[in-house]
Amino acid sequence: MTPAPGRFGLVIHPQNIADFAKKFPFTRLLPGALVERVFQAVPPFKASHITGIVSATGACAEGWFVALPWTPRVLLATPPEATHRRLIQAGRIAERLGAGIVGLTAFTKVVGDRGVSVARALDAGVTTGNSLTAATAVEGALFAAARMDVDPRAARVAVIGATGSIGAACSQMLLGHVGELVLVARTRERLDRLAERLRAAGTTPITVTSDVRAAVGRAEIVITVSSAVDVLIEAEDLRPGAVVCDVARPRNVSRIVYERRRDVLVIDGGVIDVPGPVGFGLDFGFPPGTCEACMAETILLALERRYDDYTLGPEIELPKAEEIHALMRKHGFRLSGLRRFERKISDEELEEIRVAARGARPRVGAAPSRGAMAPHAGNP
């Protein structure tokens, strides 16, 4: 007899106004502010049934997207108690559908107490997925650096959003593997506390700053996991040959970087290939057969029938990050190569970036450059 599939729910939300049209095409005809305001009153609802997930072990899983139709701006502006009530509603919908584990994604895992209150109210397990997000952010950044011939052991690595749960875990994972670690966040007091803790745990040189542009301009490798809703990194900020892993959603790196900088490699972090003829039943902004790392963590727990709470609260336990990373390999999930804005970066394009980077890097002893600016598409 074939065992019943593991069952999970994923709570999602629109990243921007345009996302509403993926489920409700009529919203394209309405003013964005009106759409956002109207959907604030709409309760969570089942958005799609997820099928076809087949592990390398032969285990299967199915799940459901449950949508909370609030943009990041609404989520951040709403009092945490009200947001928790809506998230609990979403979780209970997933439970009624049969989910044993519920994953909070994107900004639903940032607001309030990062899943703790939701977990107390539900019978199903709850996870934010941040353990696998952190593990794959580091994996992706180091993989991209290797493809660009950047040696992490000699590199200055900047972590943008270092004091958040994912950023702090990434910083801890990088200890002993990089030449220098630059921690970047808004609050200096929290930065200093994190730096003190990390210095006590390893010998990697560590500096802190709240100046994103200064940190990025000096770094060979950048991991950006900030929960900021605005772009933090512009085309002129990056040094030639820089490698940037942008894990944040909405993205921290401006799309203009992709158009104007031919000498830097910027990749989408946390894009995971899901095994099996998976159908998500909804366009949520990722290529077919792929999902975010936080979603993958939830799916992996369902495949394992692990229906207890997993990653919750403001801190990630490194043993859990290591465990879920190992489960990812066990079940045949993997990083989805090098991508940017959901488009695969070909070997030919990567070689062009490497060649441009070598030509644009400053000579030893020369003043550092802000980067070689290529003309904007369409300009002479």
Whether the full predicted model's pTM is greater than 0.95, yes or no, is no
Q: Tokens for 151, please give them.
A: 């040696």
Write down the mean pLDDT value for the chain: 91
pLDDT band at 223 (very low <50, low <70, confident <90, very high): very high
First-to-last alpha carbon distance for the chain, in angstroms, is 66
Separation between Cα atoms, residue 155 and residue 260, nearest integer Å: 24
pLDDT band at 362 (very low <50, low <70, confident <90, very high): low
* Model confidence pLDDT, tens digit, residues 258-271: 888 999 999 998 89
Angle (CA) 229-238-144 rounded to 5° is 90
Residue with tokens 């090098």: 338
| CB 176, CB 157: distance < 8 Å | no
Q: What is the pLDDT of residue 29?
A: 92
Tell which residue, 247, 341, 296, has the closest CA to residue 50.
296
| CB 224, CB 248: distance < 8 Å | yes
| CB 63, CB 9: distance < 8 Å | yes
Question: What letter would DSSP give residue 362?
Answer: P
pLDDT band at 376 (very low <50, low <70, confident <90, very high): very low
Q: What is the pLDDT of residue 243?
A: 96
* Model confidence pLDDT, tens digit, residues 182-193: 999 999 999 999
Q: What is the pLDDT of residue 340?
A: 80
pLDDT, mean of residues 214-220? 95
pLDDT band at 361 (very low <50, low <70, confident <90, very high): low
* Model confidence pLDDT, tens digit, residues 55-89: 999 999 999 999 999 999 999 899 999 999 999 99
* Model confidence pLDDT, tens digit, residues 18-50: 999 988 999 999 999 999 999 999 999 999 999
Residues 6 or more apart in contact with residue 272 via CB below 8 angstroms: 136, 290, 291, 292, 293, 295, 296, 328, 333, 334, 335, 336
* Model confidence pLDDT, tens digit, residues 141-181: 999 999 999 999 999 999 999 999 999 999 999 999 999 99
Higher pLDDT, 170 or 111: 170
Separation between Cα atoms, residue 43 and residue 33, nearest integer Å: 18
The answer on pLDDT for 108 being more than 90 is yes
Homologous superfamily of the 137-270+338-360 domain (CATH): NAD(P)-binding Rossmann-like Domain (3.40.50.720)
Q: What is the pLDDT of residue 373?
A: 34
Separation between Cα atoms, residue 161 and residue 183, nearest integer Å: 8
| CB 297, CB 131: distance < 8 Å | yes
Residues 6 or more apart in contact with residue 67 via CB below 8 angstroms: 11, 12, 13, 23, 44, 45, 46, 47, 90
Q: What is the pLDDT of residue 364?
A: 34
pLDDT band at 369 (very low <50, low <70, confident <90, very high): very low
In the chain, list all ranges with CATH 3.40.50.720. Answer: 137-270+338-360
